[in-house]
């Protein structure tokens, strides 16, 4: 007996929600970052789960979900590299990573 | 014609270019030239043009049918081909002599008159350009090129009338002249179109040679004639387009002299004389020309009675005298019209330049009611002005007498006017001649004779003008006496000008009168002059102007002073409606178009400001907005799914 797909999806939704709340509520850029990663991986989990669900039910494109996950991982890795680089630069300049203080660019 | 003669005659084609050169030199470099130099350059170049004219006149074989000088192609469109060329013949040579000769004297006079003026070089540049344009007008061998000169004259009159443009009235007068002239120009243009339609050519000689073969009195020829009449009325200030000339006094006095004597107003007479062959085939058009001329002569002479500005009197006198010329060319006596152009050029230039001296001496005073007695203080100006006055009044043996008498007798005997009341025309012209003598006596008496009415303080300052200004006056006075002998009655002596112009202007055959009637007509002209002068003497010298004063409040005086109310009428009929339309359009422009434009611009700006409010700079807010947007999309997709 395997775990039903619904469980994965619910878990994914919960993780996504946690991540979203984190992005909106945390003020430290690092924590925002972490929350974004959480959301990305929640999405990944959902995609993997659906891919598995499809292969179980005899779908023909089961690998597409898995493939998408790898793309997301790759993009996330790149994003982290660039994002952390920017963060380090900001921290050097301001000794803070509070995103609310980074609001000079506005109308 | 031998080659060397041909070359000598063709030299005159360079006269306009010389004047143009003067305009360019003075216009571009005049500012850096020291004072009298621009005037000397301008005078020298116009003078050279005069010399070229004299050479051509002497070399010209009396029987030649015109010498052409072509610079190149002017227009080429389809079947239409127009050369940029000059036509040198008897008529254009006479006009060239008048323009450059009188023009030269006016240039020389201006050297003194304009001394110390800020726009000294500009004045001479424009004066030269004026002469150049007028020369192009009379020398052109095709209608389009003539039109170039025609427009050039219009532009220069605009520039020179508004020469002291710092004052609004002067600028307005310049504009008025230009706009009224444009009305005539429309006539010229449409006339030109019709000419091409009928004759298939715009070459003047081709057209005038083809005209006698056309159907006598046909509608097309009459139409062309009337359109050219409209053009002539614009330039020559004939009814109802005479409005601009009295206001043209706003310019410096030498300009008035140039416009009234040598250039501009004679253009209309020249145009009709030049196209005389057309009018000879279109008696209705010719009669209209004659009537317009006669009525103008009469109305303008009457308008001159009550004017108080020294130059305005002369302006109305010009309108009236040009009316005489137009009447002559309307009668088909083209040489007579040109003859009066020549004699009139002398005495009218003299009258204006004399007025200039007076205005100069009185420090800008132009009101004849504050003049008087100047003849004693300004001997040369006074004497020469008296000669001009007597000449224009038509006193026998002076220039004006011969030309005016020729006009009168030719109007009476014209075969073109036989059915259009030639006797009435003659009578009205004779009346105008009496009136001319009267108002000219008034002019002379109020300015130069009688008691001194100007301020006592000015008395010691009143002085004769410098020699550079009086010399042209003397030359013009000599011309005013002797120019008439060019066109002496053929039964008395050789009529030089009629014989000279005959190859160009003999489109209409006049029958010779019996010797008795000739003498009767001459006597009538002499009596007219004497009557006018006598009446003037009685009213102003004997009666001391008491009668004139008593008539002052009468409507007649008002009618005369307002120039028959043409100004007010055109103001009411044309200017005010035009202003109302402009007013209305400006409301549309201001309240609808402008407001609509700025309104929509404001709305876009407001939208932009609303949109920028979203850009708060808080990353977390952006994230939340994105999230909510995504959620909203999700909900939307779900709802659509369910609905399906």
Q: Name B323's Cβ contacts closer than 8 Å, sequence gap at least 6.
A: B238, B292, B293, B294, B295, B296, B297, B298, B300, B432
Interface check for A61 against chain B (CB to CB < 8 A): the answer is: no
Contact (Cβ atoms closer than 8 angstroms) between residue B202 and residue B80: yes
| Residue B305 phi, psi dihedral angles, 5° rounding | -55, -45
> How far apart are alpha carbons B224 and B192 in whole angstroms?
8
- Comparing CB atoms, the residue among A23, A100, A107 nearest residue B623 is A23
Q: Name B580's Cβ contacts closer than 8 Å, sequence gap at least 6.
A: none
- Comparing CB atoms, the residue among A25, A102, A107 nearest residue B619 is A102
| Beta carbons within 10 angstroms of residue B623's beta carbon | 17
Q: Which domain holds residue A54?
A: 5-96
For chain A, what percentages of helix, strand and coil (3-state, to nearest 5) are there?
80, 0, 20
Identify whether A103 is part of a domain. Answer: no
Q: Does the distance separating the beta carbons of B612 and A103 come in below 8 Å? A: no
What pLDDT, on the 0 to 100 scale, is given for residue A11?
95
- Residues B248-264 have a mean pLDDT of 83
Q: Which residues of B touch A32 (CB under 8 A)?
A: 619-620, 623
What pLDDT, on the 0 to 100 scale, is given for residue B302?
87
User: Model confidence at B259, in pLDDT bands (50, 70, 90)?
Assistant: confident
Q: What is the mean pLDDT of chain B?
A: 85
Q: Which residues of B touch A20 (CB under 8 A)?
A: 627
- Comparing CB atoms, the residue among A20, A23, A103 nearest residue B617 is A103
User: Model confidence at B632, in pLDDT bands (50, 70, 90)?
Assistant: very high
Domain ranges of chain B: 1-68+85-138, 162-564, 565-608, 614-644
What pLDDT, on the 0 to 100 scale, is given for residue A75?
92
- Comparing CB atoms, the residue among B616, B620, B624 nearest residue A106 is B616
Q: Which residues of A touch B612 (CB under 8 A)?
A: 107
Identify from B607, B613, B619 which residue to disrupt to test chain A contact, counting A C-beta atoms within 10 A and taking the largest count. Answer: B619
From B111, B105, B168, select the one nearest B131 (Cα to Cα): B105
Give the CATH number, domain containing residue A49: 1.10.287.3510
Residue-wise pLDDT for B87-145, tens only, equals 888 888 888 988 998 889 888 888 888 887 888 888 888 989 999 999 999 998 888 89
User: Model confidence at A43, in pLDDT bands (50, 70, 90)?
Assistant: very high
Identify whether A104 is part of a domain. Answer: no
- Comparing CB atoms, the residue among A24, A104, A107 nearest residue B620 is A24
Three-state SS string over A80-104 comes to HHHHHHHHHHHHHHHCCCEHHHCCC
Q: Does the distance separating the beta carbons of A27 and B619 come in below 8 Å? A: no
Question: Residue B298: is its pLDDT beyond 80?
Answer: yes
- Comparing CB atoms, the residue among B617, B619, B627 nearest residue A20 is B627
Question: Residue A61: is its pLDDT beyond 70?
Answer: no
Q: Tokens at residue B601, please?
A: 């611009």
DSSP string spanning B353-371? Answer: HHHHHHHHHTTS--BGGG-
Number of domains in chain A: 1
Q: Which residues of A touch B615 (CB under 8 A)?
A: 106-107
* ∠ CA B126-B127-B128, rounded to 5°: 90
From B511, B506, B476, select the one nearest B399 (Cα to Cα): B476
Q: Does the distance separating the beta carbons of B627 and A23 come in below 8 Å? A: yes
Question: Residue B185: is its pLDDT beyond 80?
Answer: yes
Give how far A58 is from chain B: nearest CA, Å: 24
Contact (Cβ atoms closer than 8 angstroms) between residue B273 and residue B340: no
From B452, B471, B451, B470, select the one nearest B460 (Cα to Cα): B452
Residue-wise pLDDT for A66-86, tens only, equals 889 999 999 999 998 999 999
Give how far B602 is from chain A: nearest CA, Å: 18
* ∠ CA B468-B472-B474, rounded to 5°: 115
Question: Residue B602: is its pLDDT beyond 90?
Answer: yes
Nearest CA in chain B to A39: B627
Interface check for A32 against chain B (CB to CB < 8 A): the answer is: yes
- Residues B309-328 have a mean pLDDT of 88
Give how far A16 is from chain B: nearest CA, Å: 11
What pLDDT, on the 0 to 100 scale, is given for residue B634?
92
Give how far B611 is from chain A: nearest CA, Å: 9
- Give percent of chain B with pLDDT exceeding 90: 8
Residue-wise pLDDT for B464-484, tens only, equals 778 888 888 888 888 888 888
The SS3 assignment for B347 reads helix
């Amino acid at each position: 007996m395997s775990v039903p797909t619904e469980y994965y999806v619910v878990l994914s939704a919960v993780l996504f929600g946690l991540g979203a709340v984190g992005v909106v509520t945390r003020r430290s850029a690092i924590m925002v970052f972490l929350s974004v990663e959480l959301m990305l991986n929640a999405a990944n989990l959902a995609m993997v789960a659906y891919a598995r669900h499809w292969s179980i039910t005899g779908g023909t494109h089961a690998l597409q979900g898995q493939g998408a996950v790898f793309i997301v991982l790759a993009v996330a890795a790149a994003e982290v590299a660039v994002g952390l680089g920017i963060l380090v630069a900001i921290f050097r300049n301001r000794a803070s990573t509070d995103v609310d203080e980074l609001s000079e660019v506005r109308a | 014609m031998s080659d060397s003669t041909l070359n000598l005659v063709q030299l005159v084609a360079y006269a306009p270019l010389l004047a143009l050169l003067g305009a360019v030199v003075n216009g571009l470099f005049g500012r850096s030239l020291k004072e009298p130099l621009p005037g000397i350059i301008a005078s020298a170049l116009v003078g050279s043009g005069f010399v070229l004219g004299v050479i051509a006149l002497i070399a010209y074989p009396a029987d030649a049918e015109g010498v052409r000088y072509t610079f190149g192609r002017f227009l080429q469109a389809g079947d239409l081909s127009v050369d940029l060329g000059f036509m040198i013949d008897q008529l254009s040579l006479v006009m060239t002599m008048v323009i450059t000769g009188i023009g030269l004297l006016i240039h020389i006079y201006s050297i003194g008159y304009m001394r110390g003026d800020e726009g000294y070089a500009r004045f001479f540049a424009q004066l030269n350009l004026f002469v150049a344009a007028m020369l192009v007008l009379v020398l052109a061998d095709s209608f389009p090129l003539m039109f170039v000169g025609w427009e050039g004259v219009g532009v220069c009159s605009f520039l020179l009338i508004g020469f002291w443009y710092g004052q609004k009235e002067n600028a307005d007068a310049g504009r008025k002249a230009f706009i009224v002239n444009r009305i005539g120009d429309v006539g010229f243009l449409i006339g030109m179109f019709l000419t091409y339609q009928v004759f298939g050519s715009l070459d003047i000689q081709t057209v005038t040679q083809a005209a006698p073969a056309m159907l006598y009195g046909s509608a097309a020829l009459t139409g062309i004639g009337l359109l050219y009449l409209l053009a002539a009325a614009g330039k020559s200030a004939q009814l109802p387009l005479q409005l601009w000339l009295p206001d043209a006094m706003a310019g410096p006095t030498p300009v008035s002299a140039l416009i009234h004597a040598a250039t501009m107003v004679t253009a209309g007479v020249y145009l009709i004389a030049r196209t005389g062959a057309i009018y000879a085939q279109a008696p209705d058009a010719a009669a209209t020309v004659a009537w317009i001329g006669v009525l103008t002569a009469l109305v303008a002479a009457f308008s001159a009675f009550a004017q108080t500005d020294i130059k305005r009197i002369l302006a109305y006198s010009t309108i009236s005298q040009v009316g005489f010329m137009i009447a002559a060319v309307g009668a088909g006596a083209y040489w007579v019209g040109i003859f009066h152009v020549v004699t009139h050029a002398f005495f009218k230039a003299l009258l204006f330049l004399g007025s200039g001296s007076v205005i100069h001496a009185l420090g800008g005073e132009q009101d004849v009611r504050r003049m008087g007695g100047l003849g004693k203080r300004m001997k040369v100006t006074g004497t020469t002005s008296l000669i001009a006055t007597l000449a224009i009044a038509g006193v026998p043996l002076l220039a004006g007498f011969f030309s005016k008498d020729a006009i009168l007798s030719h109007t009476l005997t014209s075969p073109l006017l036989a059915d259009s009341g030639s006797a009435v025309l003659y009578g009205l012209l004779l009346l105008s001649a009496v009136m001319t003598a009267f108002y000219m006596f008034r002019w002379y008496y109020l300015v130069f004779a009688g008691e001194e009415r100007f301020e006592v303080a000015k008395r010691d300052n009143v002085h004769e003008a410098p020699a550079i200004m009086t010399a042209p006056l003397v030359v013009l006075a000599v011309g005013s006496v002797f120019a008439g002998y060019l066109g002496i009655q053929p039964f008395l002596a050789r009529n030089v000008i009629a014989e000279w112009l005959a190859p160009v202007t003999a489109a209409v055959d006049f029958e010779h009168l019996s010797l008795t009637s000739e003498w009767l007509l001459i006597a009538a002209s002499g009596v007219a002059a004497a009557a006018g002068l006598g009446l003037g003497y009685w009213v102003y010298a004997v009666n001391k102007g008491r009668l004139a004063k008593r008539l002052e409040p009468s409507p007649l005086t008002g009618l005369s002073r307002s120039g028959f109310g043409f100004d007010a009428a055109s103001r009411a009929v044309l200017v005010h409606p035009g202003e109302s339309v402009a007013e209305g359009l400006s409301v549309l422009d201001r309240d609808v178009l402008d407001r609509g434009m700025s309104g929509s611009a404001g709305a876009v700006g407001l939208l932009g400001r609303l949109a920028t409010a979203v850009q708060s700079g808080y990353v977390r807010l952006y994230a939340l907005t994105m999230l909510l947007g995504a959620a909203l999309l999700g909900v939307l997709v779900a709802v659509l799914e369910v609905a399906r």
